Amino acid sequence: MNSATHGGAPGIKLTTPGAQGFFKGRDVFDWLFAALIIAGVLFAFSRYGASMDGYEKGILTFAMPSLIALGWFWRPLRLLVVLAGAASLLAINLYGQHSDAFGADLAAADKVFWLKYMLSSQSAILWMSLLFFMSTLFYWGGFFVKSGESSAAEVIGSKLAWGAVFMALVGTMVRWFESHQIGPDIGHIPVSNLYEVFVLFSWMTALFYLYYEARFKTRALGAYVMLVISAAVSFLLWYTVAREAHEIQPLVPALQSWWMKIHVPANFVGYGTFALAAMVAMAYLLKTASQRALLIGLIGLPAGLIAAILAARFFAADLSPETIQGLDGWARKMGGLLLFFGLCVSLRKQLTARLPALPLLEDLMYKAIALGFAFFTIATILGAFWAAEAWGGYWSWDPKETWALIVWLNYAAWLHMRLMKGLRGMVSAWWALSGLVVTTFAFLGVNMFLSGLHSYGTL
């Protein structure tokens, strides 16, 4: 083919920016971001290096090129990282102006204006919760505004989601600092209990969605994905009030391991992307499934769960009053879910009017599950090593381990059927959506109804 056809001079080979090399395509802002990350890591080593063990130093060293690469790959991440880091350092500096016998005086969180209303860990996480709720409302409002493919309400919803992720990261980093100010050997990365991992799940799921929103150039899925995030935030707020879960507690001996620092975040990459895929599947089904199938599937699932809960309530004689009260509460929650799904079915025309094409939805589902499966596999292997160190065996068929295996097998089968058998369409979508039920039970249900070695965050 003549090179002139492509608008180039004869004998000159046209190249893409990617072909010029990963580093050659960088601009001044890329290198400035890299310099800021390197400076931040060096500052962390100089300021907190004495408190780190060898594993923590290794993780921080590895995080430096990882953050730089992620910022170069997805440029909006750069501003998020820089602002979150700056806000966290501001909060630490404000705490540092008020000291007690051990370190920073955490009572300053109730006295200093910016800590009390914005930058203490609890304040930041409450802001995260509010912004996620507002984001959900604006995304849903976009369904009922007649405009182009991306309404103004959805644009606001997207910006609010970015703000919520920012506040979540600030809250997480500041909580990490606060834990080290309580006493010797108390400090730990905040991924050790249900309160902390629900914060992790919320911002991580939102961040993955925002990436796919930009990549696929559609905001129409925000309302669906923000639903599962808002549900997680609602649980987080209830858990905070009911159990005062925001209070920082010392780690139990089995959690005092460097494995926790990598096992738990890897796990929640899986949980977050599996949840994202399930909500995309819900959008797919609302767009394609028949009214009868939707009524049987979307409404039948919570109805079946209500029946199972009521059966346990009335036919199990040895349940404690607390357990009975908890079952009644979950029956009411499933009733609300039943009502919501019925509303979605009745409004399916408005809810699917601006959804992207079906092949794009299927592709997004596949990419989310594939990414989540890779990280969930890594997390499971890391968990086995952790179990060997803590309990002397790689696998003990503990309820959490058993259900983690069920989740892994479920998505392994889904990927196998797609790649080897060409699974597509509604069967694939129903499978991805039902996978959220399995994942939720592995994540939360095991802590609620079963006991075992992993029962650190019981309800």
User: What is the DSSP code string of 303-352?
Assistant: HHHHHHHHHHHHH-TT--HHHHHHHHHHHHHHHHHHHHHHHHHHTHHHHH
What was the pLDDT predicted at 453?
A: 55
Predicted pLDDT at 124: 97
Per the domain annotation, does 393 fall within a domain? yes
Q: Give residue 66's domain range.
A: 27-46+60-73
The dihedral formed by the CA atoms of 273, 88, 72 and 205, expressed in degrees to the nearest 10 = 10
Share of the chain above pLDDT 70, in %: 83
Tokens matching residue 305:
């769960």
* CB-based contact 192:256 (threshold 8 Å): no
Tell me how far apart the alpha carbons of residues 355 and 284 are, in angstroms, rounded to a whole number. Answer: 9
Neighbours of 94 (CB within 10 A): 19
- Chain mean pLDDT for the chain: 84
Residue 146: pLDDT over 50: yes
Tell me the pLDDT tens digit for each residue of 362-401.
999 999 999 999 999 999 999 988 888 877 878 888 888 8
Q: Name the residue type at position 362.
A: E
| Residue 102 confidence (pLDDT) | 74
Residues 352, 223: Cα–Cα separation, whole Å: 11
> How many CA atoms does the CB half-sphere of 388 hold within 13 Å?
7
Taking the whole predicted model, whether its pTM rises above 0.75 is answered as: yes
Residue 316 lies in a domain: yes
Residue 400 within a domain: yes
Which of helix, strand or coil describes residue 27?
A: coil
Return the residue matching tokens 């009017």: 353
pLDDT at 45 over 70: yes
Question: Which candidate, 134, 31, 38, 132, places its Cα nearest to that of 85?
Answer: 38
Evaluate whether residue 80 is within a structural domain: no
Q: Tell me, yes or no, whether 205 lies in a domain.
A: no
- The reported pLDDT for the residue numbered 36 is 94
Helix, strand or coil for residue 87? helix
For residue 109, pLDDT over 70 is answered with: yes
254 found inside a domain: no
Confidence class for position 19, pLDDT limits 50, 70, 90 = very low
Asked whether residue 10 is assigned to any structural domain, the reply reads no
pLDDT of residue 274: 97
In this prediction, residue 344 carries a pLDDT of: 81
Count of domains for the chain: 2
Does residue 64 lie within any of the structural domains?
A: yes
Determine the residue type at 458: T
Q: What is the pLDDT of residue 316?
A: 54
